[in-house]
Amino acid sequence: MSDVSIDTISRVGVVGGGIMGSGIAEVCAKADLDVVVVEVDDDAASAAAERIGKSLRRAVGRGKIEASEAEAALERVVFSSDFSKLADRELVVEAVVEDKQTKLDVFRRLSGVVEDERAILASNTSSIPIVELAVAAGAREANVLGLHFFNPVPVLSLVEIIPSLLTSEEVTRRAREFAVEQLHKDPIVAPDRAGFTVNALLIPYLLSAIRMLEQGLATAEDIDRGMVNGCAHPMGPLALADLIGLDTVMGVAETLYAEHREQLFAPPPLLQRLVAAGLLGRKSGRGLYSYS
């Protein structure tokens, strides 16, 4: 094991305790870090606690960790609706809904709440330009970058590190060191452009599968079976879109289309209708497939 760096981070904050935020908080807690999860209200904070507890219990059931380790990890996490609880954090990861104005507001608030001038302010955004979030952070602009994890966070090793034009080299180095040495993740450095690296490739693939279904060229089952059995993908594109969340898929697609104006990034009508109906995939019980 490598020597502990003088830049080791011990106090982490996560804004948003949904699927991604809770996953990020879980991996940080399992890495022996002090974690604060901030949600919009007490009910949402309680839901985040239950989400992490359920994930840890599942890991115990699968033999991934001991019950004592899961209990200790959960004890390292504080759940709150009080934004000021983030004041002493050395790293804060924003993981709220994929909406630009909501994220901009979070970074404006973080710049006024987090006391450590060296604290890294990171976003888990899938597509929103990091430079815009940096500008919202005002004097903290050099401390802002993207730290994009992948779902499920406790399982997938990849993290995209996305510096903006304003991010300092030191902050990029520290973020990479944190991902590798403390979380044992496998990071790549991605450009600050819509979709970064992975989603710029993934989203057109998912949209193409949805268009194929929409046009009646194949059934959902055959589309997914073809990619799993024929291309050795672990999951078909339609099942993956439902897992990600169709609202998230559409949000990223809209961001990609707004930046590039290429038709392959345009959300298909079927996707738009499903999102409008609240049929968002696994999290709502129905999307391209039914999960009831």
Active site residues: 126, 148, 160, 199
Burial (CB count <10 Å: 0-12, 13-18, 19+), residue 101: exposed
Tokens of 156: 């997938």
DSSP-assigned beta bridge partners for residue 11: 34
Burial (CB count <10 Å: 0-12, 13-18, 19+), residue 151: middle
Rounded to a whole number of angstroms, the distance between the first and last alpha carbons of the chain is: 46
The DSSP annotation for 160-196 comes to EEEE-TT--HHHHHHHHHIIIIIS--EEEE--SSTTT
In terms of residues, how long is the chain? 292
Q: How far is CA 251 from CA 17, 46, 125, 149, 265, in A?
A: 19, 27, 11, 17, 11
